[in-house]
């Protein structure tokens, strides 16, 4: 035998639904800061990964230069000529100087 409670059964269902919604909202609000923190950390990981890739490329380039200096006498000779102004016996060095920009003579 069913007893008709009238409005009370509908109110009970509404309260149960509202409590369930409130619990879901509470769970969402609890995890929302963690979700934002996770997103920030992922962006930081991406930034650091990009920086690491750049640093690895620089390291690879520097290792190649060191290897060239250690094992290639032509590289050492070229660098000596460029940086120190040395020349081979059959070379002539021509240096261009920038014009004097001092306007004190006028």
Per-residue b/e over 8-23, b at no fewer than 16 CB within 10 Å?
eeeeeeeeeeeeeeee
pLDDT at residue 25 is higher than 80: yes
Residue 3 confidence class, pLDDT cut points 50, 70, 90: low
- What pLDDT is attached to residue 57? 97
In this predicted model, what pLDDT tens digit does every residue of 40-98 receive, in sequence order?
999 999 999 999 999 999 999 999 999 998 998 888 888 888 888 788 778 777 777 88
What pLDDT does 1 receive? 57
Higher pLDDT, 4 or 38: 38
Q: What is the DSSP string of the chain?
A: -----THHHHHHHHHHHHHHHHHHHHHHHHHHHHHHHHHHHHHHHHHHHHHHHHHHHHHHHHHHHHHHHHH-HHHHHHHHHHHH----TT-----PPPPP---TT-
> For position 98, what pLDDT does the model report?
82
Q: How many CB atoms lie within 10 A of CB 105?
A: 5
By CB atoms closer than 10 A (0-12, 13-18, 19+), residue 49 is exposed
Determine the average pLDDT of the residues in 8-20. Answer: 90
pLDDT at 105: 54
Rounded Cα distance between 36 and 41, Å, is 9
């Amino acid at each position: 035998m069913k007893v008709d409670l009238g409005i009370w059964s509908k109110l009970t269902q509404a309260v149960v639904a509202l409590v369930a919604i409130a619990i879901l909202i509470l769970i969402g609000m609890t995890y929302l800061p963690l979700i934002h923190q996770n997103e920030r950390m992922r962006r930081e990981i991406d930034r650091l990964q990009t920086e690491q890739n750049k640093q690895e490329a620089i390291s690879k380039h520097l290792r190649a230069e060191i290897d060239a200096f250690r094992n290639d006498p032509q590289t050492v000779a070229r660098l000596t000529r460029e940086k120190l102004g040395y020349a081979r016996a059959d070379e002539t060095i021509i240096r261009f100087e920038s014009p004097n920009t001092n306007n004190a003579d006028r």
